[in-house]
Amino acid sequence: MSKLELKDLRKNYGTASVVDGVSLQLQRGELVTLLGPSGCGKTTTLRMIAGFIEPSAGTILVDGREISSTARCVPPEHRGMSMIFQSYAIWPNMTVAENVGFGLQVRKTPAAETAQRVKEMLDVVKLGPYAQRYPAELSGGQQQRVALARAMIVRPEVLLLDEPLSNLDANLREEMAAEIRRLHDEFRFTTVYVTHDQTEAMAISDRIAVLHQGRLEQIDTPWNLYNRPRTPFVAGFIGKTNLVTGVFADGGITLEGLEQSIPMAPAERVNGGPRQVSIRPQSLFLGSPTRGALALGPVAVVARTYLGEYWHYQVEAVAGGAALKVHAPPTSVFEVGQQPMLSVDPGGIAVVA
């Protein structure tokens, strides 16, 4: 049985459909991220799970027990969930220890047990020396750890996080994403995490649910979402890609302007005719083909940008066709106007439409 299940969940405001038939299941101890651009319905979905918003249709179940539907909506305080907000929402007039232990006090946990659990939790989040400090005396990352500790100390059925790292700078976001993953691996709370940051989602998630205009586009592991996207939106939203049209025939695909047919893996083969495919820039190569790559034909370099770790090239087939993005190593240097050979790793092509 799933720990948390959404069945055809919908939320309408007048004629506007904010969440449109989202269904997904989370297993016990799984961390699933709701990922998508602003306005895609991810935060509304999270708030329906928390009980702050009633669904227009559909149901939410925890351990098979219905907690939300159009007929019945269990109040947030009776759902056994903890939520971490974008603003952290820690009390400025309480010390770190008092903030962390607040949920236990509300549940009338004995004082001795509360003190012991607060000490243990502060050690886990590496805030033991800061127990008697106030939030104003902490950095942004430390305040985030307080919010995490306060949410986890009550041992929630489901942990909900609403863009918790958006107020942090880039380096601190990366550090805290790793910390959230570490804490998840230690406690194994069933967790729903909301973000619009693809890198953040890839770093912490067991699975990612990509939302677009209120609909669930694809839910899968980070590897599959990146390497085997199933819609053009997912391919374009998760990292950089080339969305190009090719013609399928005899188990291979031919791209516009390039004569060489590219053999496709059996799982990616489709019926003949034009189809849209995703090719990641790092699956294309300029110059002498690397091992396992297939030479496609000459291309002209029309633009280039040096980004330190790699060159970002824009190329076009000499015979004509769509422009392609290519990521090449720093040592792979080509001038604008040069016409190197283009090759591709066939395993880096995914059919998306």
Mean pLDDT computed over 108-133: 94
Share of the chain above pLDDT 70, in %: 99
Q: Would you say how long the chain is, in residues?
A: 353
User: Any idea which of 66-75, 115-124, 249-258 has the lowest mean pLDDT?
Assistant: 249-258
183-187, 256-260, 271-275, range with greatest mean pLDDT? 183-187
Give the pTM. Answer: 0.91
Tell me the CATH number of domain 240-351, given options 2.40.50.140, 3.40.50.1820, 3.30.565.10, 3.30.110.40.
2.40.50.140
Burial track 280-311 (b if 16+ CB lie within 10 A, e otherwise):
bbbbbbbeebeeebbebbebbbeebeeeeebb
Return the SS3 of 293: coil
249: CB partners within 8 A, 6+ apart: 261, 272
pLDDT, residue 250, reads 80
* 230 pLDDT more than 80: yes
pLDDT, residue 86, reads 83
Mean pLDDT computed over 44-48: 97
pLDDT, residue 322, reads 82
* 326 pLDDT more than 90: yes
Mean pLDDT computed over 77-94: 90
pLDDT, residue 353, reads 84
In the chain, where the domains are located: 4-229, 240-351
pLDDT tens across 264-283, in order?
877 676 777 788 999 999 99
Give 172's pLDDT tier (boundaries 50, 70, 90). confident
Contact 28, 3 (CB under 8 A): yes
Q: Taking all residues of the chain, what is their mean pLDDT, rounded to a whole number?
A: 92
pLDDT, residue 342, reads 94
pLDDT, residue 285, reads 96
Mean pLDDT computed over 216-237: 96
* 169 pLDDT more than 90: no
Mean pLDDT computed over 157-162: 95
**DSSP readout, 32-74?**
EEEE-STTSSHHHHHHHHHTSS--SEEEEEETTEEEESSS-B-
May I ask the CATH architecture of the domain 4-229?
Answer: 3-Layer(aba) Sandwich (3.40)
